[in-house]
Structure 1
Amino acid sequence: MLGILRSIVQEVNSARDLNEALAIIVSRVQKAMGTEVCSVYLLDPTSNRYILMATEGLYKDAVGNVSLAHSEGLVGLVGSREEPINLEDAPSHPRYRYFPETGEERFSSFLGVPIIHHRAVLGVLVVQQRENSRCFDEGEEAFLVTISAQLAGVIAHSEATGAISGLSLTGEEAHDVCFNGVPGAPGVAIGTGTVVYPSADLDVVPDKPADDIDRELELFWSAVQAVKEDIERVANRLASQLRPEEQALFDVYLRMLDESALPGEVVSKIQEGIWAQGALKQVIQQYIRHFELMDDLYLQERVVDIRDLGRRLLSHMQEGEQKHLEYPERTVLVSEELTPAMLGEVPKGQLVGLVSVKGSSNSHVAILARAMGVPTVMGLVDIPVNQLGGRELVVDGFEGQIFASPSADLRAFYQAICEEEDELFRGLEELRDKPCETLDGHRVPLLVNTGLMTDVVRSLSHGAEGIGLYRTEVPFMIKDRFPSEQEQREYYREQLEAFAPNPVTMRTLDIGGDKALTYFPIQEENPFLGWRGIRVTLDHPEIFLLQVRAMLKASEGLNNLQIMLPMISNVSEVEESLHLIYRVYHEVREEGYDVHMPKVGVMIEVPGAVYQIRELADRVDFVSVGSNDLTQYLLAVDRNNPRVAQLYHSYHPAVLQALVRIAQDTHAVGKPVGICGELAGDPGGALLLMAMGYDSLSMNAASLPKVKSVIRSVDREWAVQLLQDVLLLDSPHVIKSCVDLALRNAGFGRYLRPVKTPVCEPAAL
């Protein structure tokens, strides 16, 4: 059965569209289970009805024409109960609904299982049999449940592809197609989708027609010739080191590149109107599927060679292509997984929105997007991202939704939201030079989190009083090697000069987890609990020492540098880091640089550190909480995983209790405590943190005006009372609602996420 399952899934994955995928499912399942009927009913989100989409055994004319209401018949019962229904005599069941156009009166036995994807019922998979005496056994039921679970994602993906192309399940024109993801950065953007993807990765090559078939053919044959020359050159270089049978492997590669072999099939697809890269992807994936289904182990292992050959050809075809990618005037950047480098490729002023399949609201790119003020939606699992290129898109960063090919009414609706947001920020500009102080005189400095120089410009225009977190890994991530001491020194000097004499807190290199360097790969099964942050740099003191040296030299004459140590989990890490920092300080002074010893602090991100605050604070000058990672670790939720994004909540009672304890214990030893997580940039969160006693709040620049306006409009005692009230609650959602209600009652509803009337039902996903 495992072999049958694997082959069915592989065949369905190779389908060109939803109808072909469903036809494969009903045909192969009917054959595998030895039944007379196999059918698929899909739930149409527009009409909320189950539509017969494919069948083997019922009358074909019924496909697309038979539909049932959401809770009608046995199919509706399976969907509403969300569990299998196995009946020996289906017509006698009170929920049985007979459709004469299907011819199903001949069949008595019925087994239906729901097709569920991300908690949503997509449809029902049904098998039927003529004999009255047959009741499908437990093994058959388990097989059908497994098939349904395996294929749910494929069906969702195929549905989404059709919806984006403008077609509903019934074949009618679809409007305002909506897909749900996770809010990444607030705001609304309307623009044109531009798909970017990693080079030499066949899996993410978009499907699109060829603009010029002759040009595509020329590009492909040029790549074939280049790869042949590469292989021959390697073969000649290694000829003296290899036995004849080993050298014969190169001949296999060259034979596969013969015109009558793989290239011939690619050429045929290009001539059908598919662009060269897409044609290559389809042929390579077809080869891989065929070889994986073979029983011969040697032939199965040839998949590696085929995939390698495909990558080589693709690499040659892609040379320079994305470097010269044309970006529309209003670009919505779309990718399987966005990176900071991708953001940097878009010309200044043209990036209006971001859409990423991978990641969540607290992934690194989402944090950068918030700093840049770019509306972002993350975690669009199973959406056919390659279909979004060139389409008009609406990115709703408040609700975590995107709309493909919006209607005039929908566009006007979101344009009004854009204008409201712009008007709100214009109204807050007058606060830029005013202090962040409550009505009863409590002062709370507002700092910013930065990583790019563009952050600095926005931060200064919004009235930031310093930098609470400069992510030094950003300059490392946008290069293809470690930046030199001089390069780092220039980066750091820019930040220090821009805010002098206000403090600039620089976090030492924090890589690992979701922040990878291509030239320093870290391969781990669980990277967030592995080698990251201070653990990496203490294991590589040459990196740490060079960075601290660059920081200190950059601070000469300004002396507003503060150094912060990330991912601290025990006292020994602090002591070892301080030893290295003091060593560099004395060396730099001996070189003739007139610098002051900077203040050094620790980031509290690891739950274990919460219980050692006093010991840690005793050894440093200040404490700062990284609430994003602290929340992730306290709740055991990977903040980059959109499948569990709903479990990540900054207002969770455990998180709030931990934050209260950190503030109290730090003050108990006479040290200041700040926070630089995303909670600080939420108006309600900022009020709670102020009430807890945090001495400074650091956030993305876009959030600063709203937070300042709210704090300047309340008494601290009002915020303290709100904190006491919510600490008695046990649900993060209730706490958030309570805080939002308090803000609305106090007249700050305009700073919360806009409350909008739903304009359409989400399609497919």
Structure 2
Amino acid sequence: MRIFKGIAASEGLSKGKALLHVRSSMVAEKQHIMAKDVQGELQKIHKAVERSKKALEEHQGPDISAEPAEILQTHLMMLSDPEYLGQIAQYISTNLVCAQWAVEAVTESMVSLLESSSDEMLKERSVDFRDVSLHLLDALSNRSQRTVKNLTEDVILVADSLMPSELFSMDKSHILGIALDGGGRASHVAILVRAFNIPSVIALGSASQKVHDGDEIIVDGNYGEVFVRPDLTAAQNLNERYARWQAHEQELRQMIDLPTRMTDGHEVLLKANLQTVSEIGSAKEVGASGVGLFRSEFLFMDSVGGSTEEQQFEAYKEVIEAMAPLPVTIRTIDVGGDKVVPGMGIDEKNPILGWRAVRFCLSRKDIFSVQLRALLRASVYGKLQIMFPMISGVEELNAVLHLLEHVKEECRTEQIPFDPDIKVGTMIEVPSAALCADILAKKVDFFSIGTNDLIQYTIAVDRGNEKIAHLFQPFHPGVLRSLQMIVEKAHQENIPVSLCGEMASDPLCSVLLAGLGMDELSMGSQSLLQVRKILRDVSFAEAKQLADHVMEMDSYLTITTYIREWMHDRFDHFTTI
């Protein structure tokens, strides 16, 4: 038996027979050319780019969720990057070499530069450039990358490396788990295996060199361990762990039709975050109390310059009808920052603090008005709530509310029906909005706290920067005081508060958030049942006592340790799986 330890990339336990997938090295053809042949090679590059784009676009569609869609868009943008393609063209012209040679040389130069960076995120992006270059080399040589297709039995995939495009192309219906030699926490492969819900462990080192096709494998995506050819004792222990996991999953499934009511009767609504229309089924399957965040920007991912009113209307209508009579909160387009949408003209040196979200919408009212009109048209098909992101103060809120009233008046003039009682809310995700919560609460029907950005801006830490990732702390006293203040100011105006950031989906945060007075938590569907079970096992009085005690502490380290111990004392069955 061999045990490999790595990074738990996607939770779950799976066992089965190994299927080895080792990347065959692709050697680019290296030929010198004559000056008169340069134009022909440049034409080959142009055709290869178009073929590669077409191959990637085949993976797009209405069923793809947000993370895979964004990764596909990143690769498509790389294939349109004038700097990358310009360097390839220049390399051909200057060195008089064939197209394949130029693609390999330029890509290796860019990869070396990225891999030498101390920023882990940049290092991981080098994989994307390699992936894109392989598409180009395939197209130039009329070859196909090896993919795992048309499987006839369930397998555990063991690989030395995987490119995002390979994961897209694979027959995932028969892949029970993945064990990968390489990869990192920020890698696109790690993001994809979570999106595809495949138990996975990455960064195993040399597992693929020690495994043979058909070996018995157990992948533990909870603890980050992979067991190869387990002996009898280990197999028994792992079978017990697997049985506990299965029992835990079965216990969670029993939560589907139950309300999230704490032991003393206090109820917290648990809603789902959705990226695409196709995720509605997942939200309904776990008994979500509605949609707390529908990220409308995905509609703009597949179209250059935006999405038509009719396209948006149909998508909003489908979500609202499917969830009726439960409420659906749709966030207006939130582009910019780390959300890149082609054709919008957003290219800034400091995008996180730049032209993004409502700032973009107020300066592009042509796009924003179309979205508001589509939302109003769809509102008659169920219970729609409109939410504005990145509001920093009352001036911006007044501006968006004024524009909404203008679009309503247009609909009235054109006799287009819409829900006259539609609720409107704002996200609280920047410190200025938190400090002005009492002012903003007088103008809206609800608050939704976006903790991902609120933490980032409160502590002044880029959540995508691995060098300072340790500073991104949800239990920082400054963050918790902001949450407490937002809830107090909202409740003084009798409006509910939802929290839709990553904190909502973290079981460790759930009791504290309830104790702080959150009325709703909105999260990915995969986390909802776990949070529901936790909240149903404690009283609101206990949760409030926890929150009050924590608010007296002065350090996120102290708070984190205390909450972890408090939760483990009461929910040890969650930590022994």
TM-score, normalised via structure 1 length: 0.56
Alignment of 1:402-413 (within 5 A): 406=228, 408=230
Q: Secondary structure at the match of 2:381?
A: coil
Query: Cα distance 1:346–1:514, how it changes in 2: closer, same or farther (>3 A)?
Result: farther
Q: Secondary structure at the match of 2:442?
A: helix
Does 2:25 match 1:209? yes
Are the equivalent residues in 2 in contact too, given 1:663–1:694 (CA < 8 A)?
yes
Aligned partner of 2:368 in structure 1 is 544
Aligned partner of 2:566 in structure 1 is 742
Aligned partner of 1:604 in structure 2 is 428
Deviation at 1:639, TM superposition (A): 1.8
Pick one of 531, 552, 572 that aligns with 2:395: 572
Whole-angstrom distance in 2 between the partners of 1:225 and 1:390: 50
Alignment of 1:175-574 (within 5 A): 176-180=3-7, 186-188=11-13, 208-209=24-25, 228-229=39-40, 231=42, 253=92, 256-257=95-96, 281=104, 285=108, 314=137, 316-317=139-140, 321=144, 326=149, 349=173, 357=183, 360=186, 373-375=197-199, 397-398=221-222, 401=224, 406=228, 408=230, 417-478=241-302, 482-520=306-344, 522-558=346-382, 560-574=383-397
Aligned partner of 2:80 in structure 1 is none
Whole-angstrom distance in 2 between the partners of 1:578 and 1:529: 23
Higher relative contact order (CA 8 A, sep 6+): 2
Q: Secondary structure at the match of 1:469?
A: strand
Deviation at 1:595, TM superposition (A): 1.4
Aligned partner of 1:144 in structure 2 is none
Q: Secondary structure at the match of 1:501?
A: coil
Are the equivalent residues in 1 in contact too, given 2:292–2:328 (CA < 8 A)?
yes
Deviation at 1:696, TM superposition (A): 1.1
Are the equivalent residues in 1 in contact too, given 2:91–2:97 (CA < 8 A)?
no
Q: Secondary structure at the match of 2:104?
A: helix
Aligned partner of 1:675 in structure 2 is 499
Query: Cα distance 1:250–1:471, how it changes in 2: closer, same or farther (>3 A)?
Result: closer
Pick one of 470, 482, 491 that aligns with 1:658: 482
Does 2:407 match 1:614? no
Q: Secondary structure at the match of 1:702?
A: helix
Amino acid at match of 2:12: G
**Pairs aligned (count):** 506
Deviation at 1:614, TM superposition (A): 0.9
Does 2:534 match 1:718? no
Deviation at 1:461, TM superposition (A): 1.4
- 1:359-416 Cα deviation digits (max 9, x unpaired): 659x9995x97676555679x7x989999999999775545x475x945368987676
Are the equivalent residues in 1 in contact too, given 2:11–2:220 (CA < 8 A)?
yes
Query: Cα distance 1:483–1:466, how it changes in 2: closer, same or farther (>3 A)?
Result: same
Aligned partner of 2:452 in structure 1 is 628
Query: Cα distance 1:188–1:562, how it changes in 2: closer, same or farther (>3 A)?
Result: same
Query: Cα distance 1:324–1:547, how it changes in 2: closer, same or farther (>3 A)?
Result: farther
Query: Cα distance 1:288–1:525, how it changes in 2: closer, same or farther (>3 A)?
Result: closer
Query: Cα distance 1:530–1:483, how it changes in 2: closer, same or farther (>3 A)?
Result: same
Whole-angstrom distance in 1 between the partners of 2:367 and 2:210: 41
Are the equivalent residues in 2 in contact too, given 1:193–1:388 (CA < 8 A)?
no
Whole-angstrom distance in 1 between the partners of 2:32 and 2:345: 34
Are the equivalent residues in 2 in contact too, given 1:364–1:514 (CA < 8 A)?
no
Aligned partner of 2:404 in structure 1 is 581
Q: Secondary structure at the match of 1:556?
A: helix
- 1:192-234 Cα deviation digits (max 9, x unpaired): 8999xxxxxxxxxx97336xx9xx86x9999x99975254799
Query: Cα distance 1:425–1:252, how it changes in 2: closer, same or farther (>3 A)?
Result: closer
Whole-angstrom distance in 1 between the partners of 2:40 and 2:147: 26
Whole-angstrom distance in 1 between the partners of 2:38 and 2:566: 66
Whole-angstrom distance in 2 between the partners of 1:364 and 1:541: 37
Amino acid at match of 1:698: S
Amino acid at match of 2:549: D
Are the equivalent residues in 2 in contact too, given 1:468–1:504 (CA < 8 A)?
yes
Query: Cα distance 1:478–1:671, how it changes in 2: closer, same or farther (>3 A)?
Result: same
Query: Cα distance 1:252–1:369, how it changes in 2: closer, same or farther (>3 A)?
Result: closer
Deviation at 1:345, TM superposition (A): 5.8
Amino acid at match of 1:721: Q
Whole-angstrom distance in 1 between the partners of 2:364 and 2:15: 45
Amino acid at match of 2:230: A
Aligned partner of 2:117 in structure 1 is none
Q: Secondary structure at the match of 2:441?
A: helix
Structure 1, unpaired ranges of 5+? 1-173, 196-205, 235-248, 267-276, 290-306, 756-765
Query: Cα distance 1:681–1:462, how it changes in 2: closer, same or farther (>3 A)?
Result: same
Whole-angstrom distance in 1 between the partners of 2:208 and 2:376: 46
Query: Cα distance 1:284–1:660, how it changes in 2: closer, same or farther (>3 A)?
Result: closer
Aligned partner of 1:88 in structure 2 is none
Compare CA radii of gyration and give the structure with the larger one: 1
Amino acid at match of 1:557: Y
Q: Secondary structure at the match of 2:380?
A: coil
Whole-angstrom distance in 2 between the partners of 1:620 and 1:613: 11
Are the equivalent residues in 2 in contact too, given 1:425–1:705 (CA < 8 A)?
no
Deviation at 1:691, TM superposition (A): 1.3
Deviation at 1:428, TM superposition (A): 2.5
Deviation at 1:532, TM superposition (A): 1.9
Amino acid at match of 1:660: Q
Query: Cα distance 1:731–1:250, how it changes in 2: closer, same or farther (>3 A)?
Result: closer
Whole-angstrom distance in 2 between the partners of 1:386 and 1:736: 37
Are the equivalent residues in 1 in contact too, given 2:336–2:357 (CA < 8 A)?
yes
Whole-angstrom distance in 1 between the partners of 2:431 and 2:344: 27
Whole-angstrom distance in 2 between the partners of 1:193 and 1:481: 43
Pick one of 582, 592, 595 that aligns with 2:418: 595
Q: Secondary structure at the match of 2:554?
A: coil
Whole-angstrom distance in 1 between the partners of 2:209 and 2:344: 33
